Amino acid sequence: MSELTLQVTGMNCASCVASVERAVSNMEFVASVAVNLPLEKARIVLKPSADLNAKNQCIEAINNAGFKATEPAPTPLLRERHKTDLKAHFSKVTLAFALSIPVFVLSMVLDDFGTSDGLNARLVLAFLAALPVYLWSGAEFHRNAWASLRRRTANMDVLVHLGTTVAMLWSSAVTFAPLFSWSPKFILQSTHVFFDGAAFIVTFVLLGNYLEARAKLKATDAVHHLMEMQPNEAWVVLEIGGTEARRVEDIAMNTLIKILPGETVPLDGRVEEHTALVDESSMTGESYPVRKEEGDEVVAGTVILDGTLYVRTTALVGDTMLSKVIRLVDEAQLGKAPIQRLVDRVASVFVPVVVVAAVGAATLWWLFAESLAPNSEMEPIEMAVMVLVSTLVIACPCALGLATPTALVVGTGRGAAYGLLIKGIEALERAHATSVVVLDKTGTITAGTPRVSHIELLNSDVRELLGIASALELESTHPLAHAVHTSWSNVTDKRPVVSDVRTLPGQGLVGAMDGVPVAIGTYELMSALVNELPDDLEQNVIKRAKRGVTIMLVSKGQVLLGWIEASDRIRETSAPAIKRLKQSGISVIMLTGDREETALTVAESVGIDTVVAGVKPDEKAEHIRELQLQSEVVAMVGDGINDAAALTLADVGLAMGAGSQIALESADIVLVRNDLADAVAALELGRATMTRIRTNLAWAFAYNIIGIPLAMGLLYPWTGWLLPPAFAAAAMSLSSVSVVSNSLLLRWWQPSSVLR
């Protein structure tokens, strides 16, 4: 299947989202569609049967539904458009407020001050002040409402249009009825008008939309700042000497570039000359600069502080870590949680139900107002109009549509600022419910850079043992292989040729050298390959394993040559991170292929009580499955190829950023900083984001549960409370703004100071 992303404008509530999704999902070649309201984007997954014209057909379907679909514009350009639109929007809001205030004074405060040709001068002036607000400031609502009705759907604009139109028509009829002899008696006798309601409905909804648009712009700040970190040009070192400024898009891999103090690294690369402090906070959230020397890697978006670096590029502009971060964040923000899908289904039928309820309530008051509200100063028809307008306006489902996506946009952006790359909202939703965290040992709890600490020789010399070990480990990408190669290179540069190398998962490697079998691996492997092993070998292996070192035995033919001991440094943040997980009520399990003695030593030093050792790669996923069968929500943290299956199967897979590519692709969350503390921070961010989403939805639903009955007048017979249209509009706008503002509180989220 292939995906395409489209920019969709003209949406303003959850009903619009449902309309766009319905228009696209009805096409036979579309597998799924997810629409994000704050980002105004639609991500469409196409079936294999889709042809080359699928994109144009999707655009046409969305346009026919009354919206505007285009191919996504570059984010900086889109941001500038939004800023321009905001200025125009502000002009409408300003005019609407400037006219609504005198409308309110004329309609509700001043007494009548005379008539002219039978017309009440006060009401005529109120009409003249309200008309520009209704026609010009509210023009967008009216156009969108008719477009929605033509496609046989109903959205927020329909409610605003109906509410303001009913208010204007009734008030105009009352104002100008004296001019017509055939005017109905109940209109001629009416004294209440709702010009102020119509004007304030448009004004408050426009104000709410303006504040929402500003907040949504702030919500996307994180991704925008990431994009701004990519320089447009770099200094390329020429073969003839000197440098030349060149666009980063035109720079090939393996190009030598020069980066001056204060400049941003334009492309991922490896330092070839000089040394400098590098500020990596923009990519990892790490506040302290890191010293980069010859051979060290630097990534695009980081800043050189105190020296000039010559860097050999290792990635094209579209393949840098920065580009991958931007893509991951962008894709995550387009995701849709199961809880939001439920909201969208509710919203798709919400508006028609509200219209029916509003008409029903208005009819009820028209017919029975005298018995339900005998002391009211308003006529039954006047109360019916007020109920109809207030109910239509207060029920706009804007808050429902914004509750989830705004929190997601802010949460994923905030995570990216701290090196936590969340691939989708499903990962966040599961992260907050995590009950068990399963940790790999090497590269997760430990630094993943083991070094040879001791070599025990039995029937060999150092050169032969290390030569055979290094030749076999050429087939491996495990961190232990790197330790063996480093040790070998320090002793000799002669490596024997080993053929037919095979990997035995969880045990080691075997091959043939000049027709003689050779092997490196565990005690269990040697027991199967070598007929006679030293009597005290197992005790020696256990004894050393209890020190926390990993033992690699080496054999040639039927002779055990000796063994290599490798030790790995435990990360400084591992123990605090595990302690915080346990304080949060989360169980921690170590799952490793290493010997039990080694695993227990490491586990004891970091505070892990449950250890499963000697696990083969294919068995890791089975252990995850067993935990899930016990109704546990399992998060798996790993970094290597042997963790890929477990990362995929886990409810939440977290991969160390320096791990293998397959592990990164299998995980739900990528930890750029390669630190276990960030795994804990990612789970805490998931909880924080889901808390915002749930409080947003609770507020949105509570607002409707309280506001709609109040507007319908259901409480009037007992309390005397009836919501005027202007107050209904203010409450509706306030609900949307409060939801977005609540989401923006995530902008101040940061990992616990204990972890940092």
Strand partners, 115: 120
Packed helices 221-228 and 195-219: angle between N→C axes, nearest 10 degrees: 40
Instruction: Say how far apart CA 670 and CA 420 lie, in whole Å.
Output: 6
Cβ–Cβ < 8 Å for 134, 168 = yes
Lookup: tokens for 136: 């010009």
Which is nearest to 350 in space by CA: 720, 750, 753, 701? 701
Cβ–Cβ < 8 Å for 246, 269 = no
Instruction: Say how far apart CA 681 and CA 686 lie, in whole Å.
Output: 9
Q: By CB neighbour count within 10 A (0-12 exposed, 13-18 middle, 19+ buried), where does 559 fall?
A: middle
Cβ–Cβ < 8 Å for 492, 477 = no
Strands 508-513 and 516-521: antiparallel
Q: Is the dihedral of CA 225, 226, 229, 234 positive or negative?
A: negative
Cα–Cα distance list, 248 to 165, 260, 296, 341, 600 (Å)? 55, 16, 21, 41, 49
Instruction: Say how far apart CA 278 and CA 265 lie, in whole Å.
Output: 9
- Which residues, 6+ apart, have CB-to-CB distance to 644 below 8 Å? 660, 662, 663, 665, 666
SS (H, E, C) 284-350: HCCCCCEEECCCCEECCCCEECCCCEEEEECCCHHHCHHHHHHHHHHHHHCCCCHHHHHHHHHHHHH
What is the residue type of 325? V
Cβ–Cβ < 8 Å for 746, 692 = yes
SS (H, E, C) 479-495: HHHHHHHHHHHHHCCCC
Q: What is the DSSP string of 683-744?
A: HHHHHHHHHHHHHHHHHHHHHHHHHHHHHHTTTHHHH-----HHHHHHHHHHHHHHHHHHHH
The residues annotated with a catalytic role in the active site are 440
